[in-house]
Amino acid sequence: MLGKNADFRERQLRAPLYEQLERHVKRRPHPFHVPGHKMGHSFDREGKHRFQAILELDLTEISGTDDLHQPQGVIAEAQELAAEAFGAEETRFLIGGSTVGNLALILTVCRPGDKIIVQRNCHKSVYHGIIMAKAQPVFLVPAVDLATGVAAGVRREDVERALQAHPDAKAVFLTNPTYYGMGIDLEKMAAVVHRHGIPLLIDEAHGAHFGFHPAFPLSAMQSGADAAVQSTHKMVSAMTMSSMLHVQGKRIDRERLRRYLAMLQSSSPSYVLMASLDLARRHLVTEAAEEWDRLLPQLDKLRERTGKLAWLEWPEAGASSVYATFDPLKLFLHLRAGTISGFSLQHLMEKHGIYPELSDSSHVLLAASAGTSSRDLESLARLLESLAVEVEPDEERVLEAGVVSSHYLREQAVPMDVAVDAPRETIALEQSLGRIVAEMVIPYPPGIPVLVPGERMDAQGLSMLLELRRGQTRFHGVQDDRLQTIQVLQSTSRGHTTGVGGTRL
């Protein structure tokens, strides 16, 4: 974190879990324990030269390596250093991505029938947690950025209104920042939620770097949130699937949280992934700022250099924005063009060896990090400058934004946990208008459901899915990942109204 003293930095130079694994390897032990590759002695001949160094560290719970589910040694110390670095009272390593943390938090705060106030444009894991907990979601429609047409965060006044209308809600669960890097004023949001005596839970998957450089927004922990889940692998240097869960204050039942983490996490967690969390924390505290000092001016030059292109717009937070902060590491290209789509631009980029994070009809998102090189940025700038694209009138962007906002206003005809187990049938997507959806339709990335089980398909939702399908979007949560067909509740169940399926404000 910013402004820490010399003693803090001295402690943070340690990487206790990684150091213990290295000490064990140097002993040249005889591994009569799992895993079966025996520290790399038996492995695919062709792949061994790539994996050998990692396989030596791929250990299990033996003397000296501690146990993630009952940490008392080097894992406990590594988690304590992480808590200190991220400003939390307690940190838990997650070997299963932020998904595990989101599930555990929702199961911790909600019992069957409990209400939870949720941002509608949240990750699919939040919906899965609600279904597993059999909780009743109160959905908050996000504000839509008129300049780009994408959904941002929720307004404080909408959260306040929901809390007044549902005083029995057990928690507020928000996403900050969004996939696109847009954020809200979390300090003020936490004050609103805490006035009602319940916890504020934050999916901070894309904000593990927040608070570690003056150019970045404050983190959820710095802003007073009760719990935050971070994908330490997304924007900083941990390996894929490696995440952290940070907790502070007394509004979270930590013993209940530990029990659910024990149920949801593997009993054979990867020591390689846990060690990468240990090292990512150390790198974040001791080395990353210098790398960002190099990178951030280059990102500014990229935006300045390509900002003259009439067909391209770089979003930024301003007085009229619906978001309060914007992550400078997110290169969010808003295309003001009539002759190229985001899907087409992604395809063109990939032909030139540039692989973005995601695209849609009018945007391409690229995620930079401390690992982004000047060569990467130069290749991107040259490609963008080489394109000659005609520009549409500005009013088209406002119309698009209005359509985007409608994606979050669908009728929840049947509770999610009821709909997932109800009798279903498969029909052509084009025939689904008015039907109750039986599966979660998730364009991936970003992994935000546009329909959830129990919602009724409307004309705007169907039109959007047809457009995404034309753009060859990948879909998760559905039986047919090409979305030629979709599963809906059987016609005899279409009038089913048992229970309350979630409220929208």
Q: How far is CA 361 from CA 331, 354, 404, 408, 458, in A?
A: 16, 18, 12, 18, 20
In this predicted structure, the answer to whether residue 409 has a pLDDT above a threshold of 70 is: no
pLDDT score for 502? 52
What is the distance between the alpha carbons of residues 277 and 387, in angstroms, rounded to a whole number? 40
53 contact partners, CB below 8 Å, separation of at least 6 = none
Closest CA to 440 of 449, 432, 448: 449
Residue 359: phi and psi, rounded to 5, are -145, 160
d(CA 194, CA 328): 29
Predicted local confidence at residue 446, as pLDDT: 76
pLDDT band at 423 (very low <50, low <70, confident <90, very high): very high
Query: pLDDT band for position 316 (50/70/90)?
Result: confident
Q: How many CA atoms lie within 13 A of 232 on its CB side?
A: 30
- Cβ neighbourhood burial of 360 (10 Å; 0-12, 13-18, 19+): buried
HSE toward the beta carbon, residue 288, CA cutoff 13 A: 25
What mean pLDDT do residues 278-292 have? 98
Is 497 a residue whose pLDDT tops 50? no
Whether 41 shows a pLDDT value over 70: the answer reads yes
Give the bridge partners for 451, in sequence order.
441
127 vs 309: CA distance, rounded Å: 40
User: Residue 39: is its pLDDT beyond 70?
Assistant: yes
- The residue ranges of DSSP E strands in 43-180, in sequence order, are 90-95, 115-119, 136-140, 172-175
Per-residue confidence band for 398, with pLDDT thresholds at 50, 70 and 90? very low
Q: What is the 3-state secondary structure (H, E, C) of 178-239?
A: CCCCEECCHHHHHHHHHCCCCCEEEECCCCCCCCCCCCCCCCCCCCCCCEEEECCCCCCCCC
Q: By percentage, how much of the chain surpasses pLDDT 70?
A: 92
More confidently predicted of 81 and 360: 81
Using the predicted structure, report yes or no on whether residue 356 has a pLDDT greater than 60: yes
pLDDT at 136: 95
pLDDT band at residue 325, thresholds of 50, 70 and 90?
A: very high
pLDDT > 90 fraction of the chain, expressed in percent and rounded? 81
Q: Is the pLDDT of residue 404 over 60?
A: no
DSSP state of 481: T
Spatial contact of 141 and 504, defined as CB atoms under 8 Å apart? yes
Average pLDDT in the 210-239 region? 98
Give a three-class secondary structure readout of 200-217: EEEECCCCCCCCCCCCCC
**The predicted structure's pLDDT at residue 48:** 96
- DSSP annotation of 492: G
Q: What is the pLDDT of residue 397?
A: 41
Question: pLDDT digit string (tens) for 426-437?
Answer: 999 999 999 999
Contact 134, 112 (CB under 8 A): yes
Judge whether residue 395 has pLDDT over 50: no
What is the phi-psi region of residue 28: left when phi exceeds 0, alpha when psi lies from -120 to 50, beta otherwise? left
Structural domains of the chain, ranges and CATH numbers in brackets: 6-14+62-286 (3.40.640.10), 289-402 (3.90.1150.10), 410-504 (3.90.100.10)
Q: What is the pLDDT of residue 493?
A: 44
pTM of the model: 0.91
The model's confidence at residue 389, banded by pLDDT at 50, 70 and 90, is confident
Burial class (CB in 10 A: 0-12, 13-18, 19+), 92: buried
Joined together, the tokens standing for residue 243 give: 């995440």
Q: Is the pLDDT of residue 337 over 70?
A: no
Residue labelled with tokens 């791929």: 58
| pLDDT confidence band for 405 (50 / 70 / 90) | very low
Q: How many CB atoms lie within 10 A of CB 498?
A: 10
According to DSSP H, which parts of 312-425 are helical? 342-351, 374-386, 395-406, 416-419
